[in-house]
């Protein structure tokens, strides 16, 4: 994977993917992107289309003693972006001070470090790039940790990302995440040498004639409500992300990077079988009765120069074989009927990662379930509802991603025994946490596991 492919994956940072039964990625702050006709997301255009400066971000209040592992600064500004925290190759949020070996970095520092990229939810090469940066002094401030070098391979200048942003004559290519130092600012970027915007437009719809001004304004005049659309991509390639944002700019819709309650369409990648990846966005869309469609819907709208019936492009299958959930979720929401987990009470027992558990709780509550936060509360609820016989579930974590096979089995049996012990005392049912995911994916209660 080349640097361009690696860094363009940044727009999918922390996609909150549920790419296996056992893993729910960490929660991320919501961010909303209003696309304009030039496909600008997080940056504003300066003197040339490829020379940009970062948009201001809201200051955050990081955990005490947070220092960026690249630039060694404890500050967060518009030039640094917020702090991000990584442990064991995954982004974490919440009480990061309770975890060992957490790497703290500014979002801008990690975006512009050349060999750092994401494969799904896993961050790659962070440790090796940190080790490389410790040997490089910043050409601006003289401190080590300067991971960002000039695009000219013969140039020996390196910078901390915030330091480079302070230098007026540095040039920035947001498509390929490369920078030119002031000495080489006249050199052409890869994007200036290779694909043009017109070529990308032709890729979006190769057989279509260029859209006229009159055609483009059709979207603005349309009564079908494109301006009310809030589009959210799920597991999209970098090219599809670009296409989605460009499409939103054409029709006046909004692109939302992470799941938000006002999302109207989740646009997802599908495999050869037509199955989408099971992500947090997909599951929340099922529970919210929102459209879950393929990229073909976007292409069809572009080709028709207007809204196209989503039902023709609705996804029905996920990569774990569950089918029918998206349509069933829409129908359930349209009738205002009982929610999927109405009448169920959930008590989570044992060791869940805080962010992992938090996503599960969000899903349960969105599905109408009641979360019990302590054993004492579970006892009270059961005693208070003996006559109505509520369905209380003791949920245990069946994620066994570490350790040898024998150790995994031992841990799983121990978790199961603890859950069954408590469930027997309370007259409850024991379930694995994957039962929640399976039921939501199908939008119906599956057999207990």
pLDDT tens for 385-425 read 554 445 889 999 988 765 677 787 888 899 999 999 988 88
DSSP-derived 3-state class of residue 420: helix
Residue predicted with more confidence, 32 or 249:
249
CB–CB of 392/382 below 8 Å? yes
- Which domain CATH number covers 53? 3.30.40.10
Same domain, 213 and 152: no
43 found inside a domain: no
37 found inside a domain: no
Closest listed residue to residue 258, CA positions, set 25, 58, 32, 7? 32
275 found inside a domain: yes
- What are the φ/ψ torsions at residue 280 (nearest 5 degrees)? -60, -40
pLDDT value, residue 158: 92
Place of tokens 């460009």: 246
Same domain, 386 and 435: yes
| Helices of type H across 98-237 | 107-111, 126-133, 161-166, 190-193, 197-204, 213-221
The last residue of a domain, from among 176, 193, 210 = 193
224 found inside a domain: yes
Q: Name the packing angle between helices 295-304 and 238-251 (round to 10°).
A: 40
Same domain, 405 and 273: no
DSSP-derived 3-state class of residue 284: helix
pLDDT of residue 45 exceeding 80, the answer is: no
Distance CA 368, CA 381 (A): 17
Half-sphere exposure of 64 (CA within 13 A, CB side): 1
Same domain, 124 and 210: no
pLDDT (average), residues 122-130: 85
- Which domain CATH number covers 320? 3.40.50.10190
The last residue of a domain, from among 193, 211, 236 = 193
Same domain, 201 and 130: no
Number of separate domains in the chain: 3
Poorest-pLDDT segment among 170-174, 217-221, 332-336: 217-221
| % of the chain with per-residue pLDDT over 70 | 71
Give the number of other Cβ atoms within 10 Å of residue 323's Cβ.
Answer: 16
Poorest-pLDDT segment among 48-52, 150-154, 293-297: 48-52
Query: Model's pTM, two decimal places?
Result: 0.55
367 found inside a domain: yes
DSSP-derived 3-state class of residue 439: helix
Place of tokens 């007026």: 168
Same domain, 351 and 289: no
211 found inside a domain: yes
Same domain, 328 and 356: no
15 found inside a domain: no
Q: Give the H or E element holding residue 241.
A: helix 238-251
The last residue of a domain, from among 334, 358, 384 = 334
Residue predicted with more confidence, 258 or 53:
258
Same domain, 421 and 298: no
Tokens of 166: 């302070």
Same domain, 212 and 132: no
* Sheet strands (E) in 176-306: 178-180, 230-234, 254-256, 265-268, 275-276, 291-294
**Chain CA centroid to CA 307, Å:** 26
Distance CA 129, CA 71 (A): 13
pLDDT (average), residues 325-339: 92
Q: What are the tens digits of pLDDT across the range 287-313?
A: 999 999 999 999 999 888 888 999 999
Same domain, 246 and 307: yes
- What are the φ/ψ torsions at residue 150 (nearest 5 degrees)? -65, 145
Q: What are the tens digits of pLDDT across the range 178-223?
A: 889 999 888 887 666 544 444 444 444 444 444 454 445 555 555 5
283 found inside a domain: yes
Same domain, 149 and 236: no
Q: For the chain, what's the residue count?
A: 449
Residue predicted with more confidence, 267 or 12:
267
Q: Which domain holds residue 396?
A: 344-442
């Amino acid at each position: 994977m080349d640097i361009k492919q690696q860094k363009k994956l940044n727009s999918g940072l922390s996609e909150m993917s549920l790419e296996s039964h056992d893993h729910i990625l960490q929660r991320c702050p919501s961010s909303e992107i209003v696309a304009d006709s030039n496909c600008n997301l997080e940056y504003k255009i300066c003197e040339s289309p490829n020379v940009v400066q970062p948009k201001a971000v809201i200051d955050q209040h990081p955990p005490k003693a947070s220092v960026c592992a690249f630039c060694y600064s404890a500050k967060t500004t518009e030039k640094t972006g917020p702090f991000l925290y990584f442990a064991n190759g995954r982004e974490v949020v919440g009480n990061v001070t309770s975890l060992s070996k957490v790497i703290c970095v500014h979002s801008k520092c990690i975006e512009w470090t050349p060999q750092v990229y994401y494969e799904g939810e896993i961050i790659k090469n962070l440790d090796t790039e940190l080790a490389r940066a410790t040997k490089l002094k910043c050409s601006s401030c003289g401190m080590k940790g300067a991971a960002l070098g000039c695009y000219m391979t013969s140039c020996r200048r390196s910078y901390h990302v915030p330091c480079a942003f302070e230098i007026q004559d540095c040039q920035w290519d947001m498509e390929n995440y490369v920078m030119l130092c002031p000495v080489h600012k006249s050199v052409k970027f890869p994007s200036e040498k290779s694909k043009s915007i017109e070529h990308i437009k032709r890729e979006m719809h190769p057989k279509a004639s260029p859209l006229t001004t009159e055609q483009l304004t059709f979207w603005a005049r349309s009564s079908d409500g494109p301006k009310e659309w809030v589009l959210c991509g799920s597991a999209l390639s970098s090219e599809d992300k670009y296409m989605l944002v460009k499409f939103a700019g054409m029709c006046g819709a909004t692109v939302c990077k992470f799941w938000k309650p006002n999302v109207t369409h989740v646009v997802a990648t599908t495999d050869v079988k037509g199955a989408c990846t099971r992500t947090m966005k997909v599951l929340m869309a099922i529970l919210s009765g929102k459209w879950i469609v393929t990229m073909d819907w976007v292409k069809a709208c572009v080709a028709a120069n207007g809204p196209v019936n989503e039902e023709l492009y609705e996804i029905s299958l996920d990569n774990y074989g569950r089918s029918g959930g998206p349509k069933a979720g829409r129908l359930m929401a349209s009738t205002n009927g009982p929610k999927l987990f109405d009448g169920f009470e959930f008590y989570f027992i044992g060791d869940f990662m805080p962010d992992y558990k938090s996503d599960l709780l969000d899903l349960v509550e969105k599905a109408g379930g009641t979360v019990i936060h302590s054993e004492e509360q579970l006892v009270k609820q059961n005693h208070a509802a003996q006559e109505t016989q509520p369905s209380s579930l003791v949920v245990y974590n069946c994620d066994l991603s570490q350790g040898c096979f024998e150790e995994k089995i031992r841990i799983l049996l121990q978790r199961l025994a603890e859950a069954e012990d408590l469930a027997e005392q309370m007259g409850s049912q024991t379930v694995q946490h994957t039962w929640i995911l399976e039921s939501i994916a199908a939008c119906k209660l599956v057999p207990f596991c």
